[in-house]
Amino acid sequence: MSNNFDGFFYPKSIAIIGASSKEKTLGWELMKNLLNFGYNGKIFPVNPKADSIHNVKAYSSLTYIEEKVDLVIIMVSKKYVLDSIEDCKRRNVKNIIVITAGFKEVGDEGVEMEKLLMEKIRNNNMRMVGPNCMGIINTKTNVMLNGTFIQGEPNPGGIGFISQSGALGAAVLKILKLRDIGFAQFLSIGNKADVNENDLLEYWRDNEDVKVITLYLESFGEARKFMEIAKTITRNKPVIAIKAARTAAGMKAASSHTGALASADTIVDAIFEQSGVIRVTTVDELFDLAKSFDRTILPSGKRVGILTNAGGPAILTVDEAQNSGLDIPELSEATQNKLKEICVPEAAFHNPVDDLPPATAEVYGQATEILLEDENIDAGIIILGPPLMHDTFEIGKAICDEAMKSGKCAAIVLMSQDDIIPRLAEAVPLHPPIFNNCEAAAKAIGQMYKYKLFKEKPEGKYKIINGDKKIVNEIIKKYENKETYLDFDDVVKILKAYNLPIVESFFAKNVQESVDIADKIGYPIVIKVAGKKLVHKSDVGGVVVDIKNLEELIQAENKVIAGLKEKGIDNQLEGFTLQPFIKGGTETILGVMKDSKAGHIIAFGMGGIMVEVMKDVKFKLLPINDFEAEELIKSVNAYKILKGVRGNPPVDIEFVKDNILRLSQLVSDFPEIVELDLNPFVFSHLNDRCKILDARIKIKF
């Protein structure tokens, strides 16, 4: 099975099975697009009823074509698709796009049909895009392939776009020129029966024509593989994605705290964030950012210079720039003096520079040059308000030229002048990204700056930590082939085997035993109800802390028992867990859950009874490296507390990190662990006083 898609994107010849001479049919539209866009290879329409289609000689069957066929596009009705594949087999065609719909997406019968189709594809070592897709595009000058039946001419550029929705692809194609978006390659992947986004990502990783990868996904083919592949791309080539169907049910365990906190969509967030994929939520955002990556360079820093001929739009730009993490610095005196020489005296020479409506194309061009030359400026946004006196088009050209010459990151805003954008883009083929509103430009540069920071991050190293596997192995064996929570004693042993600092615990069957044990460990102590069914101990009033002496102990346990009786659940009580009381420190939660698609996921954040209230928890996929562990810690608010707040001494963050890596190792060694909560995990400034006060582990074979 080949993962080289040159045969799809750079075919020397294409056959269209189902090309049609009947106007307005899909087979007619696709042929028209192929011809109009100026495809550079050979076109073989296949239709048993036509001699020629759009004046191109037609063949009654694929098998009659004498020349080599690189790519076959199938758009016959559903019942003939399998026969068409047979024809491909006969002609040894390996690259097939099935546009025909009516497969998995229509339910039972279609599912069966798609299975048969895939069998044929696999048995013949073919690769298939679709079924139920809209086709393929490559705008490269020596290819000029528009193998879609969509209205609207592809606009060339460096963006690769994978769309799981044909209609969405079509919607974008229709506005490429209007929004200054340029496509290098486009593929509508339809039902993803064979080729999915992961294949394309791998292919585009090393494809020089595609400079920015964009995706519209409704589901992951294989989530974990997506992350692994994306990780190998994002530092070199930006990947931007919409993952729609955000609230669709994810497969996940939800009885643990960690599981309850991880919605299907937070897992998607974690996958994207960890692999460096930039997630956006709207189509506009997707392509505003993609065209910026494509048409200008990364900003070298976060300092943005703004040039405008109108105050209001500049102020909105400043607002959005600052909101997106950018700065609006003061300009150098030299810059201001140079601007004074060319602008009218009432102009504003501070950042944002306002050269006012009288500014001509010449003035605007010069001002652009001067602004971008300033060494305090890493990127420029040049705004052109609705024109009053001058020709926006001419001014736009002057700005484009100077912005491109500057060698800096730049964007142009033609406020509300949608009509000028395609004209300007065509007149100046090499131009910065052009926007019709200023907020979008500022937001895009802010995201580019964040991407720059991402590229500069250390990659991190995976550490191997030696836990006592033998002990854990023995314990887990006891539960073989079960799906169950482990006994607390076993949990303690497992954690100890990996040096995870679980607090000393003692089990007491009743009040009398409690008193004896407390004498041994010494006061103050904590008591917790014990019982397999008593999972959320605090909720039933089953936890009492800081018990200072015998009397308090007896009183506390009797009160707890009375409370359970009142709730009618005293029969669930099996005894008490006693622990030394650890005073102070910050309660965190450290947990792991296993998602059916994304695999093991680790969670860290504010713990104890604040878990649900604050929802200050972030996630990463396991295994996790040292830098990712540090990022995880720093990504939650709890970090501010751990660092030491208002006179409290700081926690040793390296020690927190070490515990995260230990936990990662434990789960990596024993993937049978499907849920694990360390909550609360109390950290204080002395490492030997950091303790896990409660823990649960669930395994599933």
Using CB under 8 A as the binding rule, whether residue 416 contacts its own copies is answered as yes
Q: Which of the ranges 199-207, 278-286, 587-595, 690-698 carries the binding residues for its own copies, by CB under 8 A?
A: 278-286
C-alpha closest to that of 345 among 332, 335, 360, 355:
355
Provide the token pair at 641.
């507390």
Nearer to its own copies, 478 or 567 (CB): 567
Q: Which of the ranges 315-323, 447-455, 618-626, 681-689 carries the binding residues for its own copies, by CB under 8 A?
A: 315-323
| Candidate residues 80, 89, 91, 102; the one interacting with its own copies per rule CB under 8 A | 102
502 in Cβ contact with 691 (< 8 Å):
yes
| Candidate residues 22, 90, 122, 246; the one interacting with its own copies per rule CB under 8 A | 246
How does strand 145-148 pair with strand 135-138? Answer: antiparallel
In degrees rounded to 5, what are phi and psi of residue 441?
-65, -45
Scanning residues 371 to 400, which ones bind its own copies (CB under 8 A)? 385-389
Scanning residues 319 to 338, which ones bind its own copies (CB under 8 A)? 319-320, 322-323
Type and span of the H or E element at 446: helix 438-456
User: What is the SS3 assignment for 120?
Assistant: helix
Q: Which of the ranges 171-179, 480-488, 662-670, 681-689 carries the binding residues for its own copies, by CB under 8 A?
A: 171-179
152 in Cβ contact with 186 (< 8 Å):
no
Least gap, CB of 166 to its own copies (angstroms): 7
Q: For 359-391, where are the alpha helices, taking DSSP H only?
A: 361-373
Least gap, CB of 315 to its own copies (angstroms): 5
Using CB under 8 A as the binding rule, whether residue 186 contacts its own copies is answered as no
Nearer to its own copies, 179 or 600 (CB): 179
Using CB under 8 A as the binding rule, whether residue 281 contacts its own copies is answered as yes
**DSSP label at residue 581:** P
Using CB under 8 A as the binding rule, whether residue 653 contacts its own copies is answered as no
| Candidate residues 100, 139, 164, 256; the one interacting with its own copies per rule CB under 8 A | 164
Nearer to its own copies, 539 or 654 (CB): 539
**Non-local CB neighbours of 691 within 8 Å, separated by 6+ positions:** 501, 502, 503, 582, 585, 681, 682
Least gap, CB of 386 to its own copies (angstroms): 4
Q: Which of the ranges 244-252, 458-466, 484-492, 507-515 carries the binding residues for its own copies, by CB under 8 A?
A: 244-252
SS3 content of the chain, % helix, strand, coil (to 5): 40, 20, 40
296 in Cβ contact with 411 (< 8 Å):
yes
Nearer to its own copies, 167 or 453 (CB): 167
Using CB under 8 A as the binding rule, whether residue 282 contacts its own copies is answered as yes
User: What is the SS3 assignment for 361?
Assistant: helix
Scanning residues 543 to 572, which ones bind its own copies (CB under 8 A)? 543
Least gap, CB of 425 to its own copies (angstroms): 16
Q: Which of the ranges 111-119, 120-128, 508-516, 633-641 carries the binding residues for its own copies, by CB under 8 A?
A: 633-641
Least gap, CB of 306 to its own copies (angstroms): 13
Query: Which strands make up the sheet holding 434-435, listed edge to edge?
Result: 353-354, 304-308, 379-384, 409-414, 434-435
Nearer to its own copies, 24 or 520 (CB): 24
Using CB under 8 A as the binding rule, whether residue 648 contacts its own copies is answered as yes
Half-sphere exposure of 678 (CA within 13 A, CB side): 30
Using CB under 8 A as the binding rule, whether residue 269 contacts its own copies is answered as no
Scanning residues 488 to 507, which ones bind its own copies (CB under 8 A)? none
10 Å Cβ neighbour count for 3? Answer: 11
In degrees rounded to 5, what are phi and psi of residue 61?
-150, 150
| Candidate residues 171, 254, 404, 427; the one interacting with its own copies per rule CB under 8 A | 171
Using CB under 8 A as the binding rule, whether residue 172 contacts its own copies is answered as yes
Least gap, CB of 175 to its own copies (angstroms): 5
Using CB under 8 A as the binding rule, whether residue 368 contacts its own copies is answered as no
How does strand 13-17 pair with strand 42-46? Answer: parallel
Residues that bind its own copies (rule: CB under 8 A) add up to a total of 75
Nearer to its own copies, 76 or 314 (CB): 314
Type and span of the H or E element at 35: helix 26-37
Least gap, CB of 435 to its own copies (angstroms): 12
| Candidate residues 1, 334, 562, 645; the one interacting with its own copies per rule CB under 8 A | 645
- Straight-line distance from the first to the last Cα atom of the chain, in angstroms, rounded to the nearest whole number: 32
Least gap, CB of 468 to its own copies (angstroms): 34
**Non-local CB neighbours of 95 within 8 Å, separated by 6+ positions:** 5, 7, 8, 11, 70, 71, 72, 126, 127
| Candidate residues 9, 44, 186, 216; the one interacting with its own copies per rule CB under 8 A | 216
Nearer to its own copies, 406 or 417 (CB): 417
10 Å Cβ neighbour count for 426? Answer: 11
Least gap, CB of 245 to its own copies (angstroms): 5
Provide the token pair at 492.
């303690």
Rg of the chain's alpha carbons, rounded to an integer?
Answer: 32
Nearer to its own copies, 174 or 231 (CB): 174
Least gap, CB of 178 to its own copies (angstroms): 7
User: What is the SS3 assignment for 262?
Assistant: coil
Using CB under 8 A as the binding rule, whether residue 284 contacts its own copies is answered as yes
The alpha carbon of residue 135 and the mean position of all alpha carbons in its chain are separated, in whole angstroms, by: 25
In the shown chain, the binding pattern of residues 430 to 459 toward its own copies, with x for contact by CB under 8 A and - for none, equals: -------x-x--------------------
Using CB under 8 A as the binding rule, whether residue 677 contacts its own copies is answered as no
Whole-number Å distance between alpha carbons of 144 and 37:
6
Scanning residues 519 to 548, which ones bind its own copies (CB under 8 A)? 536, 538-543
| Candidate residues 130, 166, 396, 446; the one interacting with its own copies per rule CB under 8 A | 166
410: exposed, middle or buried (C-beta count within 10 Å: 0-12, 13-18, 19+)? Answer: buried
Scanning residues 574 to 613, which ones bind its own copies (CB under 8 A)? 609-610, 612-613
Least gap, CB of 476 to its own copies (angstroms): 30
Q: Which of the ranges 411-419, 465-473, 511-519, 524-532 carries the binding residues for its own copies, by CB under 8 A?
A: 411-419
Least gap, CB of 608 to its own copies (angstroms): 9
How does strand 586-595 pair with strand 673-683? Answer: antiparallel
604 bridge partner residues = 590, 618
Q: Which of the ranges 9-17, 149-157, 453-461, 671-679 carries the binding residues for its own copies, by CB under 8 A?
A: 149-157
Using CB under 8 A as the binding rule, whether residue 274 contacts its own copies is answered as no
**Non-local CB neighbours of 701 within 8 Å, separated by 6+ positions:** 480, 481, 482, 483, 672
Scanning residues 12 to 41, which ones bind its own copies (CB under 8 A)? 24, 26
How does strand 691-692 pair with strand 673-683? Answer: antiparallel
Q: Which of the ranges 1-9, 150-158, 426-434, 487-495 carries the binding residues for its own copies, by CB under 8 A?
A: 150-158
Half-sphere exposure of 382 (CA within 13 A, CB side): 34
